[in-house]
Amino acid sequence: MKKQLPFFIIFVGFHLNLLAQESGDIQPYTENSWYWQHNGEPLVLFGGSDNDNLWQWKKERIKGHLDTLQFLGGNYVRNTMSDRDPGNTFAFKKINNDKYDLNEWNKEYWEKLEFFFEETQKRGVVIQLTLWDHFDLSGNFKSHPINPENNINWERGLVKDYSDYYGGSLNAENDEVLNLQKKYVDKLLSIAFNYGHILYNISNESSLGEDWEKFWAGYLKDKASEIDKKVFVTSMHLVSSNGVRFVMSNNKLFDFVEISQNSQDSKGARGRAHYENVVKWRRIIELSEEGPLPMNNEKIYGSADGRNYSAGHGKEAEDRFWKNIFGGAASARFHRSEGYWGIGLSERAQVNIKAMNMFLEEFDIFSAGPYEGIEFVAEAEAYALANIGKEYAVYFPAGRYSVELDPWEYVKKVSVKYLDIDSGEWSEPEIVEVSWEEELSHMFGYQRGVSITTPDNKSCVAVIKVIE
């Protein structure tokens, strides 16, 4: 039997939740917490971007990229606090040609970040912000301000490499390093907490360990509570099933699941297994004490020409984009094209983002869920969503496929129309009489179905609405 919380705690929690709703900050959708809401409206997060740290770009380039995403109907980008690319700005002030002062901020660094926050907020684009990315130092330690050779503050040997900087601050209780990390995070949050369109992830691929993830999640939550702000935090693991398990096991620190690594060939799953993972984790989460919570996927891998064997092919990326949403994930974003890891905001990504927006305008996904009520004809591949008795949707990858859709409830008449993903056009709706073969009912039960066949060999989405 659960303990009854004191009235004061219940009242305060309710009050803070009302504050979040009134402010319009992003939070799980109050009517269906598999999804998010922002400014009081439910939304599916979807998009693509050509880099992880767009905020480091020049202003006009940022605005152009965001304008394109907004025009397509996209609303979601990833943002790592990364400084490893050529020409990136560092957080600390450079005092001469080769030395930095760790006690002084680089004003330009924080101004660029604030500009990015402003521009995304204007366009209703949600940011998933990653605090730490070990790749910044693992390949760039020699030239980074953190290296004692490059600053005037630290003695030589205090930090020897990137693992020493990250792991040493907690494990060895190196207060000098940990205090700098806290100072950096405090400055970051002093800006980020002014905005309500930011979700938080502790580390990229969680290679810094569980203690690191939990320490900084707790630190972030404590800082938010000091100003009565509600923030939502996740932990991205290199193996998605571990990430699901870790969040569920630490549900006082983490608020949503991040399953990006399921969407690459080397760490995730291919073909139908990719979709089945998403549905399986959704079922497991639903059975937990906390119940439904959003499953985000901010990195869909797959390079355009497939040259990155670990990431997979660009066509896989397009399929995963749709399978994530049809599997019940709350977000989907095409990963950066740099390094041939994804298709970013390329032409093919834009085609799919635009089509996804058209589909979501037509179909009430917030009242639906992943649906297994389809029978495959021959070697068909298809993925379905359903709001039983009202409307259904089926995603078909490229190919000529047929399925039998069981509406489950006894319906007499439905309309069927198809969205051609490549052209971004809907077909005219077709009225279909649903067949219930009574002569077989005594032995086998009613035979049923709405026959759905792809109009051609291209990827498409069928939307089926009950008329009678």
6 part of a folded domain: no
> Helix crossing, 162-171 with 210-226: angle to 10°?
70
Q: Where are the alpha helices (DSSP H) in 24-58?
A: none
Q: Are residues 341 and 379 in the same domain?
A: no
pLDDT score of 172: 66
Token pair for 124: 């209703």
Q: Which amino acid is at 397?
A: P
15 part of a folded domain: no
Q: Are residues 171 and 51 in the same domain?
A: yes
Where does a domain end: 335, 362, 389? 362
Smallest Cα–Cα separation from 47: which of 89, 24, 77? 77
Q: Minimum mean pLDDT among 146-155, 221-230, 321-330, 433-442: which range?
A: 433-442
> Length of the chain, please?
468
> Are the C-beta atoms of 119 and 63 separated by less than 8 Å?
yes
Q: 123-132, pLDDT tens digit by residue?
A: 999 999 999 9
Query: What's 300's DSSP letter?
Result: B
Mean pLDDT confidence for 255-280: 94
pLDDT at 2 over 70: no
Q: Are residues 330 and 379 in the same domain?
A: no
216 part of a folded domain: yes
More confident residue, 343 or 9: 343
423 part of a folded domain: yes
Task: Look up the domain containing 333 and give its range.
Answer: 21-362
pLDDT score of 326: 98
264 part of a folded domain: yes
Mean pLDDT confidence for 247-273: 94
Q: Are residues 348 and 404 in the same domain?
A: no
Q: Minimum mean pLDDT among 137-141, 299-303, 412-416: which range?
A: 137-141
Which pTM value belongs to this model? Answer: 0.92
The SS3 assignment for 7 reads: helix
Q: Are residues 292 and 427 in the same domain?
A: no
Other C-beta atoms within 10 Å of 306: how many?
Answer: 16
Q: Are residues 383 and 276 in the same domain?
A: no
Q: Cα(95)–Cα(36) distance, rounded to whole angstroms?
A: 44
More confident residue, 267 or 2: 267
Query: What's 151's DSSP letter?
Result: B
Taking CA atoms, 238 is separated from 204, 258, 299, 401, 426, in Å, by 8, 10, 12, 34, 38
Q: Where are the alpha helices (DSSP H) in 195-330?
A: 210-226, 240-249, 272-287, 314-326
> Are the C-beta atoms of 29 and 42 separated by less than 8 Å?
yes
Mean pLDDT confidence for 305-309: 91
Mean pLDDT confidence for 282-299: 94
Token pair for 330: 């709350």
pLDDT at 448 over 60: yes
Predicted confidence band of residue 449 (pLDDT cuts 50, 70, 90): confident
pLDDT at 384 over 50: yes
> Are the C-beta atoms of 387 and 464 separated by less than 8 Å?
no
Mean pLDDT confidence for 153-167: 88
Q: Are residues 352 and 304 in the same domain?
A: yes
pLDDT at 355 over 60: yes
Full DSSP string of 363-419: S-GGG-EEE--EEEESS---EEEEETTTEEEEEE-SS--EEEE--SS--SEEEEEEE
pLDDT score of 362: 97
Taking CA atoms, 207 is separated from 204, 210, 213, 233, in Å, by 7, 9, 9, 17
Q: Cα(58)–Cα(73) distance, rounded to whole angstroms?
A: 23
Q: For residue 85, with 0-12 CB atoms within 10 Å meaning exposed, 13-18 middle and 19 or more buried, which class applies?
A: middle
Other C-beta atoms within 10 Å of 118: how many?
Answer: 12
Token pair for 358: 């058209």
Q: Are residues 271 and 404 in the same domain?
A: no
Q: In terms of DSSP bridges, do strands 76-80 and 126-132 run parallel, antiparallel, or are they unpaired?
A: parallel
Predicted confidence band of residue 435 (pLDDT cuts 50, 70, 90): confident
Place of tokens 């907004």: 70
Mean pLDDT confidence for 398-427: 94
325 part of a folded domain: yes
Domain holding 404: CATH number? 2.60.40
Q: Are residues 404 and 259 in the same domain?
A: no
CA quadruple 112, 113, 119, 121: dihedral, nearest 10: -160
Q: In terms of DSSP bridges, do strands 295-296 and 331-334 run parallel, antiparallel, or are they unpaired?
A: unpaired
Q: Are residues 158 and 209 in the same domain?
A: yes
pLDDT score of 23: 62
426 part of a folded domain: yes
Average pLDDT, the chain: 90
Q: Cα(135)–Cα(84) distance, rounded to whole angstroms?
A: 8
Domain count, the chain: 2
pLDDT score of 437: 66
Mean pLDDT confidence for 169-184: 86
Q: 66-118, pLDDT tens digit by residue?
A: 999 999 999 999 999 999 999 999 999 999 888 999 999 999 999 999 999 99
pLDDT score of 438: 57
Domain holding 204: CATH number? 3.20.20.80
Mean pLDDT confidence for 304-320: 93
Where does a domain end: 323, 347, 362? 362
Q: Are residues 326 and 445 in the same domain?
A: no
132 part of a folded domain: yes
Where does a domain end: 337, 362, 387? 362
pLDDT at 444 over 60: no
Q: Are residues 271 and 406 in the same domain?
A: no
**What residues contact 379, with CB distance under 8 A and at least 6 apart?**
none
pLDDT at 429 over 90: yes
Token pair for 307: 């040259």
